[in-house]
Structure 1
């Protein structure tokens, strides 16, 4: 009997048909059998089996294992992006223009217009039904659709910015900028840092702050995509929003080190360590805090809509990630669409509590019926997506530069705003 078993194993090895369980289906850079005849390269963020959150890593490992088992003969080669998302996306765009992009990749929604304009994406329209596309929120559907009506990426998650607070230190929800300053000073009086937010050269710095401008009715660009954020109609609103952050730092309600913060992980770390009672962050951080804190400590934390110059003038930025195909091989494009459909469109939303971009999914998954997610959904009603125009990345870049000058006291607000506006207009003229 032993001889028969050895003979059977030898035959199976010779035929290359050992069961998949004979090797790890998931490694740090691969999903699927190492000798699979078909391979798709997927460049991804941490939203996968290598997530730094153990719960999410385990959940994604199961999703990816089920996915690859449902697609026999395939292997996914995983390429991980670094935390410098802006640089990663810029590099990938240049690779795509040169014909060296990965087959499939995560594309940040804020730079998706650049990829569409470059003509480097393949249509995913054949792989999603009209009903699924119609269920996308309007700003999402507009964002993924090209001028020819084709869908060029699947925007699977959206997010928003909120104000987190330790209710033991800050019991009442700050509804206005003045309330926020007072709450930041409360945190300092309690022996902690004041309010924290991203303030370095980082896309999050611009986007987390923009709600303060949008809440006043400010506009970044006109209908043609031209920057207008500091023209006659918008300049005063923009300057007020910048001075709000400046006053937080100069008053001590926010520490000067915000100019060095360029990661939401840094904000989580401060909250978990108990060194701050207040920070501006994303909705996804709620689950991260829950997973990182003792239940008694987490129970002290809550969140609310971003404050406004008045309680009635509030807004928040809505972003998110897409999955897009670059391959010229139809099989790989279809596989990329399957990845978006089977892992990210719904299952990954529920796993990470990443807000879905399809309205019908809020009824499908119980997790989005929770009090926290209902509060997020309410805040989304005043949310705004980054404008889908080519000049936006440069506007963001100039806001980041401007914020650094203002928060360090290197330049007066008016001068820094005017410099940013001129640079954005000059860049627009070169498009």
Structure 2
């Protein structure tokens, strides 16, 4: 469920935009390859492709796909484009593939990959990736794409993470613990700032960003069987502790009350540009936004660090991203889908869009990922946690969003809000 931002583009992306007339011939709005090719595959994509609204990305993908068709002659790829309502699009696609009406190959959000695996609509891709390539994936990625039977059911090609951004002229030292963040946020108010900003509105970003605090304590949302256990046993106390942490930030004034209504990462770099905040919890892609939004002398004041934890050594961060999966049963189509994931997206696509790779080796292969900033992001991914690959997760997320609104607004105590969330989730689980 990750947002794509044109502002995150760096100058090196220009290397991908040199097109020949032949590339234009091979890549049309709804087709890749010759129109009269004997074999056809249907590919459904997000904006990460030739139809991207970002001109540099669109041009870059045209070249990548034109080169791809030259390496795989005889194929025509019919393109389908998803709308920006990713949740709705993914739900619709799942129903289509279950009824045999879906695309042959498609982008599947890591957020809902478990639903597709559970529905048994994805084809195994083991034959197209070596054991070494799979082993090189970050652990949370490898776990996410692997089924219970040990087979590889998608290729997760890009990822992201959440970090703490700060204006180092106002907050000189990176806060390492929750207490240190609270103190830094309160101190920043003396410089006219409004404290630390984070997502607290009714959307997935609120759940995902907050969960890092629960995970940092070792909390588990579900057990090995996929049953919700976040409100029982040791998990309950860890969950409540993480909720109280956010509540205390608001109650103390370290975070403004308006965080309960924030449901868009854009508000953070906008506040940084307006000079109203010195601290915010955001995504790694926002570094590029800050670079392109702020004047150079202002951007130089900003840096980032890992999210603070309950202690300096207990850290976690939420990680998302996109996968490519094959739905077609035709072995040739499955092979071509795997080739698209491997030759267009994993590596070239990462470099084109400046999206963090999921394979450690790619950070050394491409110059753009050798920068100190991207090396720091890669290091932080070692503490990455993906959302659990179980069908009940969307309802868990929904109830956490409701709970967070009730707690931050003072409508319910953390205990009462957690009990209500658990009751709703358990009812949905048993249904």
TM-score normalised by L of structure 1 = 0.86
Report SS of the residue matched to 1:381. Answer: helix
Structure 2: 5+ residue stretches without partners: 1-19
1:185-223 CA-to-partner distances (Å, cap 9, x unmatched) read 445444444322222232221111111111122222222
The answer (yes or no) to whether the contact 2:163–2:307 under 8 Å persists in 1 is yes
Match of 1:283 in 2: 284
Larger radius of gyration: 1
* Change in 2 beyond 3 A, CA 1:221/1:73: same
Distance 2:80 2:190 in 1: 46
Match of 2:67 in 1: 66
Match of 1:159 in 2: 160
Report SS of the residue matched to 2:364. Answer: helix
* Change in 2 beyond 3 A, CA 1:70/1:266: farther
In the TM superposition, residue 387 of structure 1 has moved relative to its aligned partner by: 2.1
In the TM superposition, residue 28 of structure 1 has moved relative to its aligned partner by: 5.0
Distance 1:319 1:22 in 2: 32
Report SS of the residue matched to 2:196. Answer: coil
The answer (yes or no) to whether the contact 2:24–2:62 under 8 Å persists in 1 is no
Spell out the pairing of 1:237-256 with structure 2 (5 A cutoff). 237-256=238-257
The answer (yes or no) to whether the contact 1:86–1:203 under 8 Å persists in 2 is no
In the TM superposition, residue 43 of structure 1 has moved relative to its aligned partner by: 2.3
Distance 1:78 1:193 in 2: 46
In the TM superposition, residue 87 of structure 1 has moved relative to its aligned partner by: 2.7
Spell out the pairing of 1:22-421 with structure 2 (5 A cutoff). 25-26=26-27, 28-33=29-34, 36=37, 38-51=39-52, 53-421=54-422
* Change in 2 beyond 3 A, CA 1:37/1:263: farther
Distance 1:34 1:293 in 2: 45
Distance 2:368 2:102 in 1: 36
Report SS of the residue matched to 1:79. Answer: strand
Paired residues in the alignment total 412
Distance 1:224 1:46 in 2: 35
Report SS of the residue matched to 1:234. Answer: helix
Structure 1: 5+ residue stretches without partners: 1-18
In the TM superposition, residue 26 of structure 1 has moved relative to its aligned partner by: 4.4
In the TM superposition, residue 227 of structure 1 has moved relative to its aligned partner by: 1.5
Match of 2:4 in 1: none
* Change in 2 beyond 3 A, CA 1:271/1:393: same
Mean Cα deviation higher: 39-48 or 147-156: 39-48
1:380-420 CA-to-partner distances (Å, cap 9, x unmatched) read 22222222223222222221121122222222211111111
